[in-house]
Structure 1
Amino acid sequence: MKPTVLLPVVTTAALLAIWEALSGSGALPPEMPPVTDIAAWLWAGLGTAGLWTAIAQTLAHWALALLAGVVLGAVAGAAMAAIPVVNELLLGTVEFFRPIPVVVYLPIMLLLLGATSEVVVTLAALGALWPMLLQTFYGVQDVDPVSRDTARVFGLTPVQRLLWVTAPSVLPYFSTGVRIASTITLLVAIAMELLGAVPGLGNTLGTYAANGLYAATYGSIVVAGLLGVLLNAAFERLERRALTWHASHRHRIA
């Protein structure tokens, strides 16, 4: 095993061992159950339909929100970078709304739509919108003007310039934006499920916590963390495959 992989594994195992020892000695409060209890719940919970249903509901919210956020963010970012008038019209609005936490909109959305999946998807998509918008904006702006002018001089059509000049410049930014947006979307989806009592992993976690089922609460947190790690790893692998030609990925081809 590579040292870069071994060290985090050893560190995590040591921290879990310390947690287990402190919990067994009574040094930790009952709200922090032993690691073995959490592991036992995970082993049993992964064999039940209820947990997998909650995971599927969260993944559905995540997928729909990510798709909407990526499409809207990419279109808006490209338009702002390519068309100065659009940039002037939208820049003030973007700079005003971008720093506002998504959770601020939750009470309004609950009043308008109630505790529904639409609320979770809308707010999670809003969380994904900003990184995609900014990454696409910077990607389009980073197109080499010499290459762009050369393509125009040689008579390439707008579609050809888009495919052979603009797309290679934007793709690394776009890929990074999707990966960042994926993580943010999952975080927002779980948080909105928790706060809005919408069916999903977040609501399941909140229900366990409210009823004092601490091993199940921590187990749900572990499941959410593993879900984020797996999704991020999947997007990293896709990014490496899509950008094998890029200098930053040539030496990392698996």
Structure 2
Amino acid sequence: MPLPVLTTAALLGTGEALARSGALPAEIPPVSEIAGWLWTNLATVDLWMAVSQTLTHWAVALVLGVTVGTLVGAAMASVPVVNELLLGTVEFFRPIPVVVYLPIMLLLLGARPAVVILLAAVAALWPMLLQTLYGVRDIDPVTRDTARVFGLTTPQRLAWVTAPSILPYVFTGLRIASTITLLVAIAMELIGAVAGLGNTLATYASNGLYAATYGVIVIAGLLGVALNAVFERLERRALRWHPSHRTQNA
């Protein structure tokens, strides 16, 4: 049996034993109770409605954040004037946690999905912006000069030089942004009382339904793992020509 499976089984067994013995607080239920809740409720409409609402927030926010981040990052890396204009603003706002903006957004828009989407999109923007910025700047100058010497047009240089060079960076940013967007979306749903897994989690926790609370946490974790696996597979397929992926597949 693989070591990760044994380790997981040992951790779950230890958690079950500690919870049953009373060594853990009452707020931490036995693993068997969490599993029982999942088995009973996994096919319920309400749970899947919450999952679909969170996935909708995640998808829209990811598209917005990735699009804006990629465009701004490429512009900053390619046009010195744009970089000078935006660099200070980017460095100022990038370290600020998005949760800081939540009270302002709730005052302006109320507890609506738009608040979750906008804040999650801001969280997705930064990794995409930085990865695109690094990717464009990392293009070999000799390759750029060669493309110009051979008379490639701007669209041709974008398609044959820029895009292949920055794709590994873009996919890395996409995987990071995907995870961050999901985390922020659930957190904003929880704090802002917007329908989704986060709000479901808050409702269960406030009513003392601890097995249900941890069950939702498990679902959120599995959702994150599944989305990351999807993007890893897309990356391998899209970059199978790249030296790093050829080495892995060899």
Per-residue deviation at 1:251?
A: 3.2
Aligned to 1:10: 6
Written as runs of structure 1 = structure 2, the 5 A alignment for 1:61-100 is: 61-100=57-96
Map 1:211-230 → 2, pairs under 5 A: 211-230=207-226
Q: In the aligned structure 2, how far is the partner of 1:23 from the partner of 1:137?
A: 49
Q: Which residue of 1 aligns with 2:145?
A: 149
Q: Deviations over 1:57-102 (max 9, x none)?
A: 0000000000000000000000000000000000000000000000
Provide Cα deviations, 1:163-221, integer angstroms capped at 9, x if missing partner: 11111111000011111000000000000000000000000000000000000000000
Equivalent of residue 112 in structure 2, options 113, 116, 123: 116
**Aligned mate of 2:234, from 214, 238, 252:** 238
Moved more, 238-247 or 88-97: 238-247
Letter matched to residue 182 of structure 1: S
The whole-number CA distance in structure 2 between the counterparts of 1:228 and 1:9 is 19
Query: Following TM superposition, by how much is the alpha carbon of 1:45 offset from its aligned partner in structure 2, in angstroms?
Result: 1.1
Letter in 1 for 2:107: L
Equivalent in 17, 36, 42 of residue 40 of structure 1: 36
| Partner SS, residue 47 of structure 1 | coil
TM-score (norm 2): 0.98
How far apart are the structure 1 equivalents of 2:54 and 2:94?
Answer: 24
SS in 1 for 2:194: coil
Instruction: Give the whole-Å Cα distance in 1 for the aligned partners of 2:219 and 2:225.
Output: 10
Aligned pair 1:135/2:131, yes or no? yes
Matched letter for residue 157 of structure 2: R
Moved more, 78-87 or 40-49: 40-49
The one-character-per-residue Cα deviations of 1:216-243 (angstroms, maximum 9, x if unpaired) are 0000000000000000010001001110
Q: Distance in 2 between the 1:231 and 1:252 partners?
A: 21
* Separation (CA, whole Å) in 2 of partners of 1:25 and 1:181: 41
Give the alignment partner of residue 250 of structure 1, picking from 232, 246, 249. Answer: 246
Q: Does structure 1 residue 183 correspond to structure 2 residue 179?
A: yes
Distance across 2 between alignment mates of 1:114 and 1:253: 50
* 1:103 aligned residue: 99
Aligned length: 250
TM-score (norm 1): 0.97
Q: What is the Cα deviation at residue 10 of structure 1?
A: 1.4
Q: Which residue of 2 aligns with 1:59?
A: 55
Amino acid of the structure 2 residue aligned with 1:180: I
In structure 2, distance between residues paired with 1:111 and 1:120? 13
In the TM superposition, residue 252 of structure 1 has moved relative to its aligned partner by 3.1
4+ residue stretches of structure 1 with deviation over 6 A?
none
* Structure 2, gaps ≥5 residues long: none
- SS of the equivalent of 1:249 reads helix
Percent identity (aligned): 75
Distance 1:7 1:196 in 2: 40
Structure 1: give runs of 5+ residues left out of the alignment.
none
